[in-house]
Structure 1
């Protein structure tokens, strides 16, 4: 944790009065009116831990390198999150500067609100309050503008915290190198790494259900993951959803090529986290409905491997063909079977998402179906290094599940082994009649 010295602690008499006020009452204070003492504290940077949780049309505020900038709209709410390891006293301040004149803002935490006056273009630590926190877990600090003399309320770099509640088990996004603040704001990705039977596996089948209210924009519910690619469904915007099937380029750099695709499927290439061929279908999948995902992987006998995928749309009672890709310089069957859940919209990293994964089966080259009922739950470096702790996976009502975001407290440890009761419901799909267009 980064440690700095800050002027923070308020008098016990004021704290006693402030703590008695209801959630809608405020304490009017300016920096010079606070009795203070010198204390070692922690700076929680907005750059890696804050979100505009209530954006407003016309608002220009944004979280960028250095913190909150261009904060102009009084209706906007900016929220910063950190996790306390124990109950106790929480001393709170903000580090901010005002470009022009003075501003008054509202700082809200734990159901209490405090109005603070800011002034001066030099970054200054402004004490806010000292409150008693009853339990360990995530704390949310909200900022909202009340009045300003200039065009913006303030530029805010850090939420400053101290007190007994912060002395043990404090967690927040603290690593800024290698673009980690970006990944921390996206939130921890979570995975199910399945235990597959021995032998050459040609077909991979899985079922995914997204519960109602767990379909926030930026969510990718990946069902059929394998060495070389993945297949699942996404929320692209408030009005658009995708089925997405992608295959990476060969390890030696040779390009994956599309050999065929289904009706209504768009194909192209992807970059960023590797490169490869991509196909997607704009399809308005529905929360609460269960979607079946089927992938075939087999060598073509000429030093390449063919990857094909379909999904079953319950609304249409039909299988839909996505695409077939040829990956050169590769000769393989299904391997590295996994599912994952991630957020790809960084500004929505504070929102939650969840998916249920059930009834996974594989079929070998001899035509034998085998159910997969064990997996290992893992998270990415954002979770594994405890930059974010809102991740979990497990078994719910006999189904595997993955969940992340929303800053919940009951996380599940990385590398946890999971097992569900087998369903015994072998896929009924007729592989010989699957559509190819």
Structure 2
């Protein structure tokens, strides 16, 4: 019996030595390498309480086996690649599992300083690739912090991923690419009102999504999915004083609240410009179509008034959200647009989509003009090609926007799109609006 045990142990040790030799040989053969940093490219996709991705771009507080850390990157074609992990300093030993689809390799890590460990050879598909890392066992309180995933190929490959943290791009990259539709507005008229509709399909509403319907040159108006228990209608106007700190705005350049609807909260916002903000807590429903109406009108004294109304089909009437006065501004409605963004970075691996339809603008003479042309654009993360999971344009007679989820079929930025005219202007009793 003792002889059999020794024989099995000897064979197992031989297999390990063979595997180590094999990995060492692969390292000599797969010489082209790309480092995918944790920051901007990695999420805790399961077991959220068991690990975190820090703002500095490392895995921290990795304590539970339920936690799954997922790296994402995109390949132009299928590749056979050697995967390695750059592991930070470790005070105890552990075992972790690395998976691509159904194929998994278990790696043993001893206590020590930062080093790079080879995991194994994987057949990676074309398009976006998800590499999962999960704890198997540990001798200490936590698993080691990960710093990056190394992808080694025989020849150079143009891999898509968030490459750097300049201008806080790890954060913006984890949020995912924001996308926009800019509607073509006739230039020979002044317009006061803009009308739009949004339908969010079922399952396309992860927390952190902002479906902005009615954008204008100085602000935005739309609906948000804030948490499992709260959703909002949000209307904001930027101050003419450019700062991310609302406390710095001089009194004569502050946005002033003129009126607000019942149950609407108002205040100031910062971080992405500053100004006046209003929101109404309302649990809007996927699959239902919501209507948005807002006006931009100069007051004749060097200021401009912005007013927003929201129509929920479950309620059946227009609701005033708020009316703001923006000082040192003299303008009618300019740059009607919509956008789709994610504002919770840990949810940037989850996709979202919305349909934007039936856009109309009313001029100062009271005539409606249907807007059927839009330009599709993206933010810095999209323009740099750091993430390519974005789309927008026309679908089934409506405009749409889509982002997140690491899908492969993206739409070219700066492309023009047309939808079919509806031909019937919205019927709104302006005299009885609050």
Measure the CA separation in 1 of the matches of 2:103 and 2:348.
25
Measure the CA separation in 2 of the matches of 1:112 and 1:426.
56
Partner of 2:231: 241
Q: Tell whether the 8 Å contact from 1:349 to 1:405 is kept in structure 2 after alignment.
A: yes
Partner of 2:377: 378
Measure the CA separation in 1 of the matches of 2:414 and 2:404.
19
Partner of 2:305: 306
Q: CA deviation at 1:331?
A: 1.1
Partner of 1:344: 343
Is it true that 1:168 corresponds to 2:157 in the alignment?
Answer: yes
Q: CA deviation at 1:55?
A: 2.7
Measure the CA separation in 2 of the matches of 1:231 and 1:64.
29
Partner of 1:24: none
Paired residues for 1:280-359 under 5 Å: 280-359=279-358
Partner of 1:411: 410
2:136 paired residue among 146, 158, 176: 146
Paired residues for 1:95-106 under 5 Å: 95-106=86-97
Q: Is the partner of 1:47 in helix, strand or coil?
A: coil
2:211 paired residue among 217, 221, 231: 221
Q: CA deviation at 1:176?
A: 1.5
Q: Tell whether the 8 Å contact from 1:95 to 1:123 is kept in structure 2 after alignment.
A: yes
Give deviations 1:3-41, integer Å, cap 9, x for gaps: xxxxxxxxxxxxxxxxxxxxxxxx989985644133231
TM-score when normalising by structure 2: 0.90
Unaligned runs of 5+ in 2: 1-14, 243-248
Q: CA deviation at 1:63?
A: 3.3
Measure the CA separation in 1 of the matches of 2:135 and 2:226.
31
Paired residues for 1:54-203 under 5 Å: 54-57=46-49, 59-133=50-124, 135-164=125-154, 167-198=156-187, 199-203=189-193
Measure the CA separation in 2 of the matches of 1:150 and 1:432.
70
Measure the CA separation in 2 of the matches of 1:388 and 1:382.
6
Measure the CA separation in 2 of the matches of 1:69 and 1:385.
28
* Distance verdict in 2 for CA 1:30–1:73, change over 3 Å: farther
Q: Give the alignment's Cα RMSD to 1 decimal.
A: 1.7
* Distance verdict in 2 for CA 1:297–1:28, change over 3 Å: farther
Q: Is the partner of 2:43 in helix, strand or coil?
A: strand
Give deviations 1:163-203, integer Å, cap 9, x for gaps: 15x73331110021111111101100000011001211000
Measure the CA separation in 1 of the matches of 2:105 and 2:18.
10
Paired residues for 1:26-45 under 5 Å: 32=20, 34-36=22-24, 37-38=27-28, 39-45=31-37
Q: Is the partner of 2:412 in helix, strand or coil?
A: coil
Measure the CA separation in 1 of the matches of 2:272 and 2:48.
32
Q: Tell whether the 8 Å contact from 2:193 to 2:296 is kept in structure 1 after alignment.
A: yes
- In terms of fraction of residues, the more strand-rich structure is 1
Q: Tell whether the 8 Å contact from 2:268 to 2:276 is kept in structure 1 after alignment.
A: yes
Measure the CA separation in 2 of the matches of 1:30 and 1:384.
46
> How many pairs align?
406
Q: Tell whether the 8 Å contact from 1:205 to 1:294 is kept in structure 2 after alignment.
A: yes
Q: Tell whether the 8 Å contact from 1:100 to 1:149 is kept in structure 2 after alignment.
A: no
Measure the CA separation in 1 of the matches of 2:409 and 2:112.
41
Q: Is the partner of 1:267 in helix, strand or coil?
A: strand
Measure the CA separation in 1 of the matches of 2:48 and 2:331.
51
* Distance verdict in 2 for CA 1:64–1:249, change over 3 Å: closer
Q: CA deviation at 1:47?
A: 1.2
Q: Tell whether the 8 Å contact from 1:389 to 1:407 is kept in structure 2 after alignment.
A: yes
TM-score when normalising by structure 1: 0.90
Q: Is the partner of 1:286 in helix, strand or coil?
A: coil
Partner of 2:199: 209
Measure the CA separation in 2 of the matches of 1:372 and 1:251.
31
* Distance verdict in 2 for CA 1:259–1:66, change over 3 Å: closer
* Distance verdict in 2 for CA 1:31–1:330, change over 3 Å: farther
Q: Which deviates the most, 69-78 or 183-192? A: 69-78
* Distance verdict in 2 for CA 1:28–1:371, change over 3 Å: farther
Unaligned runs of 5+ in 1: 1-26
Measure the CA separation in 1 of the matches of 2:48 and 2:307.
43
Q: CA deviation at 1:285?
A: 0.3
